[in-house]
Structure 1
Amino acid sequence: MNNFKINALKLFIIILMCILNSCDTFDSHKHLIGRYYFNHTKFGKCICYKVDDNDDYVELIDGAFSLIGFDSNYIIVERNKDQFFIVPIYKEMNYSPEKGIVGPLNPKEFNEKKKMLKINADFSMNTN
């Protein structure tokens, strides 16, 4: 009977490891606004634009960023304390959503651009 328990435990561990190593186990896709999503996969984080109904996405900003905020016109991203991005939100379908992204900006440039574009967004989402 002891041998049976050991083999069952080994089988359980193998099955658990297969599940944990599958591609989508830890993937998360959070809808931000419109066609814009925050995706966090085992390959990293990114802000994406959903191109069509077949789950095809265009990566707009990827890498190590921590804070996101958005209003009805813009998404703001803090990569670190010294780099910021501004992503315009397209209301109509757009096959080149990466055009128009502003950044990287330093804090002073970011605050000036945010004021000039009348962006009402604050950093409300922590991606860590």
Structure 2
Amino acid sequence: MRNYKILLVFILILVLNGCGFNKQVEVVPNYFVIEVDSPDDLDICYKLNNEGYLGLLGGRLIGLYQKKDLLVAIKKPKFVMNDSMPEYYIIPVYKEGELDPSKGILGPLDSIELHKELQNLGTKLNQFKKFNLIQ
């Protein structure tokens, strides 16, 4: 019985250490780049008052562009053999107190679709500032 308790405590320690995040950098108010489980697994997250964070893309973030009211995120695709074709997402920046900022995200998009959607929104990618993910 004692061996089971020791094993249970050991497993609990591993789980608690593996599920947190270490790095969090604010992009715009309430939006953060957060290290999920490892330094190369980043996600864009929305801060929920004092209740934690809401992950918006599920990790694998490799690039981010910011503007006052929009973010453009670049993500490695999951379960695709060709990592050279990233997915693009257009994320509207919501004010504090919005219920679900994951609504309204456009994507995944390829680069042609991204430029068309930005044009429909009256902007271009060269009007955005590149956010440095390595800080």
Question: Normalising by the residue count of structure 2, what TM-score does the alignment of the two structures yield?
Answer: 0.67
2:42 to 30, 41, 45: 45
Assess if the C-alpha contact under 8 Å between 1:51 and 1:94 holds in 2: no
Which residue identity is paired with 1:31?
E
Who is 1:75 aligned against? 71
Q: In the aligned structure 2, how far is the partner of 1:114 from the partner of 1:122? A: 14
Which residue identity is paired with 2:46?
Y
Assess if the C-alpha contact under 8 Å between 2:70 and 2:93 holds in 1: yes
Q: In the aligned structure 2, how far is the partner of 1:47 from the partner of 1:25? A: 15
In structure 2, stretches of 5+ residues that fail to align are 1-15, 77-84
Displacement of 1:118 in angstroms is 2.9
For 1:23-72, what per-residue CA distance to the aligned partner results, in whole angstroms no more than 9, with x for missing partners?
Answer: 699710000101111101325321111110x2511111122121101100
Bigger CA drift: 38-47 or 60-69? 38-47
Percentage of identical aligned residues: 22
Who is 1:31 aligned against? 26
Q: In the aligned structure 2, how far is the partner of 1:117 from the partner of 1:84? A: 15
Which residue identity is paired with 2:69?
N
Cα RMSD over matched residues?
2.7
Who is 1:102 aligned against? 106
Assess if the C-alpha contact under 8 Å between 1:29 and 1:39 holds in 2: yes
Who is 1:8 aligned against? none
Assess if the C-alpha contact under 8 Å between 1:77 and 1:85 holds in 2: yes
Flag the 1:74–1:94 CA change in 2: closer, same or farther, 3 A.
same
Assess if the C-alpha contact under 8 Å between 2:33 and 2:42 holds in 1: yes
1:55-70 equivalence runs, <5 A? 55-70=51-66
